Structure 1
Amino acid sequence: MTRTEYLAKLHKYLKKLPKQDYDEAMDYFTEYFDEAGPENEAQVIADLGNPKEAAHEILSNLLGKRMGEAGRNASKNTQNILWIALLAILALPVALPLLIVILVLLLTLVIVIFALLLTLAALSLASLVTGFALLWESLTQLTFDLPALAIGLGSSFLSIGLAILLAILTYHLAKASQFIMISFIQWLIKGGKKS
């Protein structure tokens, strides 16, 4: 067997390796033959063994090397996970009360907004009822006193107008609150990242 035949057979056995590993292995064997010289090719082939055995040895060494790297990486990952778990346990006495305070503040804010909207709706309804009551009262007073009728009509229209304004304000505040709540919930779901 010649050097060219040996390297061709070695190429056949090693061609499925990743390019970098394949190039390193073939360079090693080519340099080995170059250093020995053409007159010692037979001795080099005898020292290396047949190409299949040489390829098997290279694959075994490469596999051992990859397994060692994977073991070191797995050990590092396990160590990192343990440190994170330890830090989470140690941070729990501080983080848990903070989380509870934040949740209570958020719940309080929701309750306050809901109470404000309910109050505005109740004021709008009360103003509307008062306006119609004043209108009815002033129309029934038509026969008795003209200035009382004017004051009653003015007060009733003012009250009805105030009811309409309060209803519009309540509607817009409810829409704004809904938008803010939905945006905040989406922000929490995405993990606090801007979209």
Structure 2
Amino acid sequence: MNKVEYMQSLRKQLRRLPKEDFERAVDYFEEYFSDAGAEEEAQVIENLGTPEFAAEQIIAEIVRKNASAPVKDVKRGLNAVWVGVLAVCAAPLALPLALAFAVMIIAFVFCILAIIVCFIFAGIVLTISGPFCIVAGFTVITVNFPAFLSCLGAGLVSMGIGMLLTFGMIRFCQWFLTGMVRFFGHLIEKGGRKNEQNK
């Protein structure tokens, strides 16, 4: 196997990674080959191991890196969780067990995210309905002052609860995704320790 064949196979193994991680990994291996030079190509391939092994190592490294940093936004958090699922599937477990575990984790993450999205939408609706309630109160201010005060109070409470719910759920989503990424990092670390002990 030469460098071109090795890199083609490696790209195939890494193709499911998020675009940014994929490009960074491919650039790293390209640079590794370039630094060694054409005459050391065979030695580099031997040092790296099979493309499958190299891909497994780079995915595990990405999971470790993601686990050590908090999630800053939802998109990056979902990407990090996806890489964690890939790492678990690439780990040396029985294939059916790994597949069942990956499906279970993906289903769990999407269920929690669906609940979070529902709460966020509820918060947005409450926040938006508050001003309408206040405006409705001003339409009856001359006819029924207590009704105006009720509408004003309900509108302010609605806006307050809505904003609290929306921002609270966004923070909870970040916390949840960070927890999931750290969970995958812990799994990879534990798997790596077991492999070292078995050797």
TM-score range for the pair, normalised by the shorter chain length = 0.3 to 0.5
Q: Which has the higher contact order (CA 8 A, sep 6+)?
A: 2
**What TM-score does the superposition give when structure 2 sets the normalisation length?**
0.46
Give the alignment's TM-score, normalised by structure 1. 0.47
